[in-house]
Amino acid sequence: MRNTLPLLAAVLIAGALATGCANTERKFGRGMGNTFEIVRGGEFRRTMEQTALFDSPDSAYGVGFFRGLNRTLARTGVGIYEVVTAPFPPYDPVWTDYLAPGPVYPDNYSPTLKEDSMFATDANLGFSGGDVMPMMPGSRFRIFDTH
């Protein structure tokens, strides 16, 4: 029993080093992003917008709502699958015929860098802009936003 634990640890470390990390961390990061899609709500907003544009504005609140809910839950499920299977191949995105591999946003919104002291170059001047409510999904109001 004493010799089993070090052998198991050595096999796990050798397996982790032999498989490489780049593909694993890419798959894990994509999975985490997709898992938190239910909180972010980008797929839901985009689907409701696309339903209003391509079907009719009246059907956006009915059909678009449930279509967006289905796509959000599907993306969350794919994210959970990718997080659990991150150490194992294949490392390519799954189910790309139904969902885009990366995060989606409505066409009327394109994200930029978060206004934070990490990215701000004017932090030494004593003033800086910033997001008003960065923890609230969909908050787009920024102070000193010039672009």
Kind and range of the H or E run holding 131: strand 130-131
75-113 residue pLDDT tens: 999 999 999 998 888 888 888 888 888 888 888 777 776
Using the predicted structure, report yes or no on whether residue 74 has a pLDDT greater than 90. yes
pLDDT at 67: 94
Assess contact for 81 and 60: CB atoms under 8 A. no
- Mean per-residue pLDDT over the chain, rounded: 80
User: 46 and 104 in contact (C-beta within 8 Å)?
Assistant: yes
pLDDT at 17: 64
